[in-house]
Amino acid sequence: MHANPKAVEETGAKLIDGNAIGAAMRAELAGEITALQQRGVTPGLAVVLVGDNPASQVYVRMKGKACEEAGLYHETIKLPKDTTEADLMSLLERLNVNHKIHGILVQLPLPKQIDTHRALHRIDPRKDVDGFHPENVGKVAVGDPTGFRPATPYGVQQLLIRTGVETKGAHAVVVGRSNVVGRPMAALLLQDGPGGNATVTVCHSRTRGIEQYTRQADILIVAIGKPEFVTGDMVKPGAVVIDVGVNRVDDPTKKQGYRLVGDVRFEEAKHVASAITPVPGGVGPMTITMLLYNTVQAARQWVRP
């Protein structure tokens, strides 16, 4: 249940470096992208941004930059915040039939006049590289490899595999049950194969005595959206801790007036865990890496249905 020696040594726990693992995986992907290009196919991703949410703008820029560096074709389509649901739907229909585009991503959150479920369900499941369409949710749940795994839990699974964390027979506790992270994470950990075969417990906001479950976890994955919710005494000694949270907390000592923290109190947990992801630099870089993987998978399946 230990991270490998390549993980950076910290006081106590080993640091699981998502930047390094993500970069290595993108390098591995380069050969497949070249092979597709030689067959006349450049994997293409369209990212749709509705409105001017500052965090969403940053994420969209990062996704575009990652596509450029990987040699993917990409389009970023920005729509005003008062865009109607009908206008967004007609755009998605056009992207569904655009042969240069293999993956479509609608950046969340959407403005309140647009039904998020309806928008996500309008994307062709074969281009749904976020893995949010019910068809892909079902495929992931039953272990169908043609389904797109949501990028963040897919990235977490790769972190575990590539740092030598044994999931088979381990007790994995997932804190959070969102459709974006918690639920698909549990499905991936349950599957038969690398990064799977775990015994999985899912905790959430209605779980009573949550610490009694987190203290049993060999692998603790926290995605609850509450700054530093998990304290050191909630972690089993020697556990592997994956912190999915990214939260801004006020910090007048910082130039920007805030600092980023995860859902785990890192300074406490690192003295108890055997390995831990930092925030930032842990799960975040893996999310964008797996989005690229899903886009290449979509192109591959489009060529070879």
17, 128, 130, 263: which is the annotated catalytic residue? 130
Q: Which of 151, 171, 159, 162 is nearest to 220 (CA)?
A: 171
* CB contact at 8 A, 221 and 213: no
Angle between helices 54-70 and 283-303 (to 10 degrees): 60
Q: Which helix (H) or strand (E) holds 13?
A: none
- Cα separation, 49 vs 76, in Å, equals 7
124 belongs to the catalytic site: no
Q: Where does the chain show beta strands of DSSP type E?
A: 8-9, 14-15, 44-50, 73-79, 103-106, 171-175, 199-203, 219-222, 240-243, 247-250, 258-261, 275-276
- Cα separation, 59 vs 51, in Å, equals 13
* CB contact at 8 A, 121 and 101: no
130 belongs to the catalytic site: yes
* CB contact at 8 A, 249 and 282: no
Q: Which of 132, 159, 158, 136 is nearest to 147 (CA)?
A: 136
107, 158, 191, 297: which is the annotated catalytic residue? 107
- Give the chain's end-to-end CA distance (angstroms, integer): 38
14, 17, 63, 236: which is the annotated catalytic residue? 63
297 belongs to the catalytic site: no
Q: Which whole-number Å values give the CA distances from 14 to 162, 163, 203, 239, 269, in the listed order?
A: 14, 10, 25, 11, 11
DSSP 53-77: -HHHHHHHHHHHHHHHHHT-EEEEE
Indicate which residues carry an active-site annotation: 63, 107, 130
